[in-house]
Structures are given as structure tokens and as C-alpha cells.
């Protein structure tokens, strides 16, 4: 089984990391590692974060964090890495490969193999990403920088409101 990672709090110390409350509030219910192995009380943390303006996703939080630190945007990750980032964002959880197979008709083994081996996804996989998760699929295919991607997400959200 594929264990989903836990996003660490920016205040935690190296080798003594603990889960980010915002991450737990947004994604805790979908992450069995938090509840089962780490014993995190997801409902209590969600209630404590109820009045906070949390980030919708990791990419936006990272972009603002980097800007606050005065860092320049990182280089554009390669196609294989963009594929992995998009899958982590769009299809979290232990059943991701089955979900992808059902959505695309491409075998779960092919999806998982490309992810685990760090190889580039096939054109059919990219096409399936674009059909199902268009903004992420476009980012995987286009190779725009992380900051440009975040700006695209924010502009899309502004237009939708």
C-alpha cells in the first residue's frame, strides 16, 4: 500500500516534525496515516481551524512561503516530476491507481509504475490528466514555472467567483 505523506508544520524542528494544522484541516480525513498511525484528532484540528483562511492547496502555500522568504521561484521541474506532483494533488489516497484506471481506461499498473519509477508518463496518461483535471494536466504538459502555475490557479478562482 502507498502511504500518503504528511505535510510538516513550518514551526517544527528538523527530525522532530509534526503535522501542519492547516494541512490536517484540509486533507486530514483523506489521510489514514494521520488518524491511524499518528493518532491525530482530525476533527478537533478542523474545528480549531474553522475561522482561519487556509490555503486551498500546497502549491499556493509554497509560493507565498517562498515569496515571504525572498526566494526566487525554483526552476521548472521535469515532466516526470510534474506528473508526480499533479497526481499527489489530484488523486491522493491508497486507491489512487484504481481511481485513475477507472477514469482513464489506462491500467492501474501503468499509472503506478510511471509514478514509482520516476519515468515520464505516456501521452495517453497526460491526455487523461487533461480531460479529468484540466488545470493540472495543462501544467504537467506546459512546464510553466511553479509561480506561474499558482498565478494561473488564482486567476481561474478569481474568474469563477
Label each residue of 66-100 as H, E or C: HHHHCCCCCCCCCHHHHHHHHHHHHCCCCCHHHHH
Q: What confidence score (pLDDT) does residue 98 get?
A: 93
Residue 154 domain-assigned (yes or no): no
Do residues 88 and 50 share a domain?
no
104-113 long-range CB contacts below 8 Å, 24 or more apart? 104/128, 104/131, 104/132, 111/87, 112/2
Give the domain range for residue 19: 1-54
Residue 155 domain-assigned (yes or no): no
Q: Count how many domains the chain has.
A: 2
8 A C-beta contact, residue 65 and residue 119: no
Question: How does the average pLDDT of the chain come out, rounded?
Answer: 79
- What confidence tens digit (pLDDT) does each residue in 103-115 have? 899 999 999 999 9
Residue 120 domain-assigned (yes or no): yes
Q: What confidence score (pLDDT) does residue 5 get?
A: 66
Q: Is the pTM of this model over 0.85?
A: no
Do residues 1 and 34 share a domain?
yes
- With cut-offs at 50, 70 and 90, classify the pLDDT of residue 4: low
Cell representation of residue 137: 494536466
Domain boundary among the residues 38, 54, 70 is at: 54
Give the whole-angstrom CA distance, residue 59 versus residue 114: 22
φ, ψ of residue 4 in degrees (nearest 5): -75, 140
Q: What confidence score (pLDDT) does residue 106 get?
A: 95
- With cut-offs at 50, 70 and 90, classify the pLDDT of residue 74: low
Res 146 pLDDT > 70: no
Give the whole-angstrom CA distance, residue 156 versus residue 115: 27
Average pLDDT value for residue range 120-144: 81
Do residues 89 and 139 share a domain?
yes
- With cut-offs at 50, 70 and 90, classify the pLDDT of residue 2: very low
Residue 139 domain-assigned (yes or no): yes
Amino acid at each position: 500500500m502507498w502511504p500518503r505523506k504528511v505535510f510538516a508544520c513550518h514551526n517544527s524542528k528538523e527530525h522532530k516534525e509534526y503535522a501542519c494544522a492547516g494541512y490536517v484541516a484540509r486533507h486530514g480525513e483523506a489521510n489514514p496515516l494521520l488518524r491511524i498511525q499518528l493518532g491525530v484528532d482530525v476533527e478537533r484540528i478542523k474545528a480549531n481551524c474553522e475561522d482561519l483562511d487556509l490555503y486551498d492547496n500546497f502549491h499556493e502555500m509554497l509560493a507565498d512561503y517562498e515569496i515571504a522568504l525572498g526566494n526566487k521561484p525554483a526552476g521548472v521541474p521535469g515532466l516526470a516530476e510534474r506528473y508526480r506532483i499533479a497526481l499527489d494533488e489530484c488523486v491522493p489516497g491508497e486507491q489512487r491507481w484504481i481511481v485513475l484506471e477507472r477514469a482513464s481506461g489506462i491500467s492501474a499498473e501503468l499509472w503506478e509504475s510511471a509514478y514509482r519509477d520516476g519515468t515520464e508518463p505516456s501521452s495517453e496518461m497526460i491526455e487523461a490528466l487533461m480531460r479529468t483535471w484540466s488545470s493540472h494536466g495543462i501544467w504537467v504538459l506546459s512546464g510553466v514555472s511553479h509561480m506561474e502555475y499558482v498565478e494561473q490557479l488564482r486567476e481561474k478562482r478569481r474568474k469563477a467567483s
